[in-house]
């Protein structure tokens, strides 16, 4: 080979030059020490706009204006942020709010749906779902006698769902189907229209967890006829650590559902302080209490680059990034014992690429010490999160090149196999 180490091929540099979203990288703080950040699917990079918004909120609104700030935009922020997210999930106004965490929102919506449909005792999810979602659903199922949760098994390849088993589990006794639109480990992208058609044919409702989808793949909740949805704002929406999540309730269901966590922010007139206050009309009834204002304002500001890019361009770049990563992994990593843990069909793939290696944990550690920031999911999966607004094609090339050198030279073998607390 005539190229030296780390010399990015001209064809890859050309992909970056031709990338219409390349300039938006400057809207984000660069990761420290020149690291190549491949974890935007877990915690998105810091948008400068979010930092500035939080600075203003801390120094002026909190520092000087104090309580008056509630009347100058803080109080409406959960609704306002929801309306800003709505177009990214294909929702008409009046159906999305930002509040609480994804886990809490899932609990509120799943419990409300189960309670509204007592004649249907079954909740259905699949083994590809994020374990926390399954824990939440176990709690909802356990809260009423006779109610149960069915977890459809994944395909034996560990990459795809067991679609036949999943569809068979969704029947006339099913109140609600809860799935991650993009699964956290393999990055499988469910066929939402097919699932919606099947669920509708037996009268089951669908709740999509959009955590690994929003800001990365097009989502059309209204068009799909989706009943309910939840999702994170700190992954591809870059809202920051612990930023509050969003929830969607289809308009025609809102007034028929009651939140199992009733609080004053979900009342018609919170400041009437009445003991018999009615739930707020519309989706606002799923608010509970005082929101984390600083994080909420960060979410709103963080949406600017995502909205500027537009989800179609984001998706196009995401597909191109994952295609490049897979092609390079096939060529350089497969011979070193890696297997692809992500669907090859781009139409069934989100924005991260999973690479499986029997020594995945140690390889992941060596990658970190080589300036790469992927993450690891048990037992053998290294995830490369390719966040379209902040990951370049050259980043992908360098990540594969460096990883191949590590493994070819056996550098990962110097590490221990004991796991860290956070992987
Ligand atoms: C990241 C993620 C969550 C996180 O939930 P939190 O309540 O914010 O901890 C939930 N569900 C899915 C599918 C996720 O990917």
**Predicted pLDDT of residue 1:** 40
Question: Which residues approach ligand 1 with their CB closer than 6 A?
Answer: 101-103, 130, 132-133, 180, 184, 209, 211-212, 232, 245
Run of H or E residues at 304: helix 293-309
CA distance 186 to 308: 28
Does 3 have pLDDT greater than 80? no
Helix (H, G, I), strand (E, B) or coil at 9: coil
DSSP H helices, 332-392, are: 360-369
Question: Which is catalytic among the residues 285, 348, 349, 383?
Answer: 383
| Pocket probe mutation, ligand 1, options 109, 131, 133, max atoms within 8 Å of Cβ | 133
As given in the structure block, the two tokens for residue 410 are 């056996």
**What does the pLDDT average to over 325-352?**
98
Question: Do the beta carbons of residue 352 and residue 321 sit within 8 Å?
Answer: no
**What does the pLDDT average to over 150-161?**
97
Query: 8-65, pLDDT tens digit by residue?
Result: 999 999 999 999 999 999 999 999 999 999 999 999 999 999 999 999 999 999 999 9
| pLDDT category of residue 277 using cuts at 50, 70 and 90 | confident
Ligand 1 geometric centre to CA of 353 (Å):
18
Full-model pTM? 0.97
Q: Exposed e or buried b for every residue in 77-103, given b needs 16+ CB within 10 A? A: bbbbbbbbbbebbbbeebbbbbbbbbb
Question: Do the beta carbons of residue 228 and residue 117 sit within 8 Å?
Answer: no
CA distance 9 to 14: 9
Query: 287-337, pLDDT tens digit by residue?
Result: 999 999 999 999 999 999 999 999 999 999 999 999 999 999 999 999 999
| pLDDT category of residue 90 using cuts at 50, 70 and 90 | very high
**Predicted pLDDT of residue 2:** 45
Does 377 have pLDDT greater than 50? yes
Query: 382-411, pLDDT tens digit by residue?
Result: 999 999 999 999 999 999 999 999 999 999
Give the contacts of 358 (CB within 8 A, at least 6 positions apart): 337, 380
Of the candidates 85, 48, 33, 14, the residue with the CA atom closest to the CA atom of residue 390:
48
Q: What are phi and psi of 78, to 5 degrees?
A: -60, -35
Entry field: residues in the chain: 423
């Amino acid at each position: 080979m005539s190229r030296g180490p780390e010399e990015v091929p001209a064809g890859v540099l050309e992909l970056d030059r031709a990338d219409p979203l390349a300039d938006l990288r400057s809207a984000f703080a660069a990761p420290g020490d020149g690291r190549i950040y491949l974890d935007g699917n877990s915690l998105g990079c810091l948008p400068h706009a979010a930092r500035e918004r939080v600075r203003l909120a801390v120094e002026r609104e909190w520092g000087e204006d104090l309580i008056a700030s509630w009347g100058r935009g803080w109080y409406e922020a959960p609704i306002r942020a929801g309306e800003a997210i709505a177009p990214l999930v294909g929702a008409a106004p009046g159906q999305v709010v930002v509040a609480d965490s994804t886990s809490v929102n899932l609990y509120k919506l799943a419990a409300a749906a189960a309670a509204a449909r007592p004649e249907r005792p079954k909740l259905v999810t699949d083994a590809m779902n994020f374990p926390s979602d399954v824990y939440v659903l176990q709690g909802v199922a356990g809260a009423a006698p006779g109610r149960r949760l069915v977890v459809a098994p994944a395909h034996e390849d560990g990459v795809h769902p067991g679609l036949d088993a999943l569809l068979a589990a969704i029947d006339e006794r099913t109140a609600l189907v809860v799935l991650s639109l993009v699964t956290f480990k393999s990055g499988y992208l469910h066929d939402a229209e097919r699932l919606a058609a099947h669920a509708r044919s037996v009268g089951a409702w669908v709740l999509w967890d959009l955590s690994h989808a929003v800001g990365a793949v097009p989502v059309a909740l209204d068009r799909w006829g989706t009943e309910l949805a939840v999702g994170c704002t700190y992954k591809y929406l870059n809202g920051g650590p612990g930023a509050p999540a969003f929830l969607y309730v289809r308009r025609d269901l809102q007034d028929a559902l009651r939140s199992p966590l009733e609080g004053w922010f979900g009342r018609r007139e919170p400041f009437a302080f009445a003991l018999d206050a009615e739930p707020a009309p519309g989706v606002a009834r799923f608010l509970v209490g005082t929101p984390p204002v600083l994080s909420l304002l960060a979410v709103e500001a963080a949406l600017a680059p995502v909205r500027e890019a537009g989800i179609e361009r984001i998706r196009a770049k995401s597909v191109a990034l994952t295609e490049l990563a897979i092609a390079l992994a096939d060529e350089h990593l497969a011979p070193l014992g890696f297997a692809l843990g992500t669907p090859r069909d781009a139409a069934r793939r989100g924005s991260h690429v999973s690479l499986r290696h029997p020594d995945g944990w140690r390889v992941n550690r060596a990658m970190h010490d080589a300036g790469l920031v992927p993450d690891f999911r048990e037992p053998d999966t290294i995830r490369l999160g390719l966040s379209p607004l902040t990951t370049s094609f050259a980043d992908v090339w360098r990540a594969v090149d460096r990883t191949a050198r590590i493994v070819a030279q056996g550098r990962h073998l110097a590490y221990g196999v004991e796991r860290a607390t956070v992987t």
